[in-house]
Amino acid sequence: MNSLVIGDWIFDSVVYDADRDVLYLSIGEPQAGHGEETAEGHILRFNEDDAFFGVTLIDVRKILEEDGEVIVAVPPRPQLDEPQRKQLLPSDLSHALATC
């Protein structure tokens, strides 16, 4: 199983939809909840208890090809005060964007 680390979060469910160019990242199995759009245009996912559990990266391959990186702001871990921003380079995302 592939995993991806952004800030202090480890996403162990990584699914790329090549037709839509969307990368779905989840801590544990994806679950029902709601989303909040980030300044970068991605979606942060929260469960019914408002606990953060995932990120949906929109146009991820397009952004990576155009900018050479994907920037996404994720919420801080409960013990931290500041949001964590992470630069995602092609080497960080190559395994997630690989198509079968």
pLDDT tens per residue across span 45-78 = 999 989 999 999 999 999 999 999 999 989 887 7
pLDDT at 8: 83
Buried b vs exposed e over 46-60: b needs ≥16 C-beta within 10 Å?
beeeeebbbbbbbbb
pLDDT at 7: 85
Q: Tell me how crowded residue 11 is: count the other CB atoms within 10 A of its CB.
A: 21
Q: What is the pTM of this model?
A: 0.75
Own/partner contacts of 66-72, CB < 8 Å, gap of 24 or more, are 70/40, 71/40, 72/6, 72/38, 72/40, 72/42
Percent of the chain with pLDDT over 90: 57
Q: What is the mean pLDDT of residues 5-23?
A: 92
- Distinct helix (H) and strand (E) counts, the chain: 2, 9
Where in the sequence is the domain holding 17, given as residue range(s)? 4-97
